[in-house]
Structure 1
Amino acid sequence: MKITAVEAIPFAIPYTKPLRFASGEVHTADHVLVRVHTDEGLVGIAEAPPRPFTYGETQESIVAVIHRIFAPEIVGMSALEREGIHARLNRTIGNPAAKSAIDMALWDVIGKSVNLPVTELLGGYADRMAVSHMVGFAPPEEMVAAAERVRGQYGITTFKVKVGRKPFMLDVEACRALRRGLGDDVELYIDGNRGWTASESARALRAMEDLDLTLAEELCPADDVLGRRWLAEQSRIPVVADESATRPGEVTRELLDGASNAISIKTARTGFTTSQRILFQSEGLGVEVVMGNQVDGQIGTMCTVAFGAAYQRTAQRAGELSNFLDMSDDLLTEPLRIIDGTLFARRGAGLGIEIDPDKLAHYRQDR
């Protein structure tokens, strides 16, 4: 099962509304479809979503590094040689989304080769995940209305609230409005995208102690080493490392330094193989994990479900699986459906998804 070609196809699908958070805003899903071809006719697929304001990758850089560096390195290797493939990819530093998409496409190929879902190959714990929905920056009444609509239409009862604005009281009032509007039977947690200082974060958390928040993610920058440790020591809820913990070594640093005590896993930046390592590392150290979202489309969301459902520790929390709802379209022949707040992994071989060729032809940017 030799790799014969690796494609990186840029595509762009507009969002129905801008997604706004402390580190930037997104108007269009400028993503990259990655396809790994083999000599047996199997094709694995995955999606690479650039986050230039977080990891430095752009759509153009992902296409270039895959076509010019990664593909020449791995064409001719067996799709089963995942460790050898990773060793070659890791000769080039950075480029997490590009590397992760190749890794997940390889797992899709392997699943197809043995006619089994990737979820079963990874662990097979469950076949579904509860869904958490991201609520972005807007006036409080609009944030409440958006959350109520999502709860009513999709049955979602867990919400990740974007915070990190200055002055921070804007976010405190928004969280208060959400708790009042949604009641006590929903889970709320916050994500600052590094927008606050440690002292602002501490004040905001104190001001929201009565709101029963469950997690606080990346409230201040990773370089604020002592400030993050000081914040985590006094926080009454788990402090989640996300952008600051993109590799196993960074996870170790964050946890042992006391800067965080929970970890966000994103398959879009660590694929399935490295995500496994981070999950097992976190499990061994006894810290909570949450399946995050890198503004993924439906392809990336299905990758997150396939991984998250495979393990007890990731399946027991709602995963961030609904960003695709804000996209005006997608590339799948069979779109994802959230029912009663739940998203199922596909039962077909591999990831169980197929690309609609007409949609790809319409949205691709290289022709």
Structure 2
Amino acid sequence: MKILRIEAIPFAIPYNKPLRFASGEVRVADHVLVRVHTDDGVVGVAEAPPRPYTYGETQESIVAVVDKVFAPQLTGLTLLDREAVHARLDRTVGNPAAKAAIDMALWDALGRSLGLSVSQLLGGWTDRMRVSHMVGFAPDAEMVAEAERVRDTYGIRTFKVKVGRRPVDLDVGACRALREALGPDVELYVDGNRGWTPSEAARALDAMADLGLTLSEELCPADDVLGRRWLTSRTSVPTVADESATTPGQVTRELLDGAATMISIKTARTGFTTSQRILHQCEGLGVEVVMGNQIDGQVGTACSVAFGAAHRSSSRRAGELSNFLDMSDDLLTEPLEISGGELAVRPGPGIGIEIDPGKLAHHRRDR
């Protein structure tokens, strides 16, 4: 189980429609497929989605840091040398998506080598998760139509609404339209992607107090230290830290500062190893978590559901597992399927997925 080679393959798959939110928009999934090869012929895979407006990574930077920095440092270690792997990855600052993809590809290779599911190796709590769907910026009628289509087609009944526009009345109106169209039994929560000031966020939450919102995520920038603390203290809606809590240390800061009451875990930025550390940290502090989405493709979504379903705490809430539905294609031999509002963990060793060589050849951008 020795690491023989690590490769980073850039690929691009257009979205059928752009996803728009306060910190940017995504029209093409210009991601990176990371593959870990072992000396016994096993190949582990994972996906790195760059988010330059959030973490500073680009497709080109992920390929470069994997090829030039991480691969030479990790070659020769075994799949079980996890502490050594992370010690070497941690020598380099930043690059969360690149590090996460390497970590998950190593776990995938380990599961394949042992003939066991990664989800079983991580905890094996359940074999599926309820799904939450993200609704991006659009006119109210389009947002409602999308949510109704997703509900009727896939049985999804939890929706994360992107907010953070100015004036705030735009988003208040959208959330009210969604509530009126979907009814009281559908769960709605909001994500501001750091788009509002604390006072704007307070005004919006007050205006939506009758809508039964279950969560509010990153309504203000992480640097608004006192404002975030003030906002969290004055609202009964749980405050989720996402981009502001990407490491165990940041999680501690956000919670002890009173800036958040919940944590979003994204395997796309913390892999399986660090995600599990954050999850156990939250469990020890009595803090709830939600499985987030970095606008992952099907490879990344398979990783998210494998982790989320593996643990009691991360499987309690609906996970953000549906954004691949808006992609025009995928890389898998057997595409993921959401049914009855749920996504099942793939059976089989590792993450349980296989890459279609024809699809990869068509979408890769390095040849």
* Corresponding position of 1:87: 87
CA offsets per residue over residues 54-113 of structure 1, 9 Å max, x none? 000000000000000000000011111011001001100000000000000000011111
Deviations along 1:297-316, one digit per CA (max 9) or x if unpaired, are 00000000000000011111
> What is aligned with 1:8?
8
Residue in 1 aligned with 2:318? 318
Distance in 2 (alpha carbons) for counterparts of 1:315 and 1:19: 25
The TM-score normalised by the length of structure 1 is 1.00
The answer to whether the aligner puts 1:30 opposite 2:39 as a matched pair is no
Structure 2 counterpart of 1:257: 257
Matched, 1:208 2:242: no
Provide the C-alpha distance between the structure 2 equivalents of 1:340 and 1:40, rounded to a whole number of angstroms: 40
| SS across alignment from 1:189 | strand
Aligned positions, number: 367
1:207-237 deviation line (CA, Å, top 9, x unaligned): 0000000000000000000000000000111
- Secondary structure at the aligned position of 2:366 is classed as coil
After TM superposition, the structure 1 = structure 2 runs for residues 111-260 of structure 1, keeping only pairs within 5 Å, are 111-260=111-260
Q: Does 1:282 align with 2:247?
A: no
DSSP-derived class of the 1:47 partner:
strand
Letter in 1 for 2:288: E
Superposed CA offset, 1:103-138 (max 9, x none): 000000111111010000000000000000000000
Rounded to whole Å, the distance in 2 between the matches of 1:270 and 1:277 is: 9
- Structure 1 residue 288, shift from structure 2 partner: 1.1
**Aligned mates of 1:76, 1:203 — CA distance in 2:** 56
Runs (5+) with no aligned partner, structure 1: none
Structure-1 separation of matches of 2:17 and 2:96: 27
Letter in 1 for 2:216: A
1:202 partner SS: helix
Distance 1:259 1:334 in 2: 42
Give the TM-score normalised by structure 2.
1.00
Rounded Cα–Cα distance in structure 1 between residues aligned with 2:167 and 2:31: 32
2: CA distance between counterparts of 1:324 and 1:83? 32
Partners of 2:186 and 2:48 lie apart in 1 by: 31
Residues 160-179 of structure 1: CA deviation (Å, up to 9, x unaligned)? 00000010110000000000
Give 1:301's aligned residue: 301
Q: In 2, Cα distance between the equivalents of 1:328 and 1:77?
A: 38
Offset at residue 291 of structure 1 (A): 0.1
Distance across 2 between alignment mates of 1:175 and 1:316: 24
Unpaired segments of 5 or more residues in structure 2? none
Identical amino acids, percent of aligned pairs = 75
| 2:366 maps to 1:366 | yes
**Counterparts of 1:34 and 1:92, CA distance in 2:** 18
Q: Superposition RMSD on alpha carbons, in Å?
A: 0.4
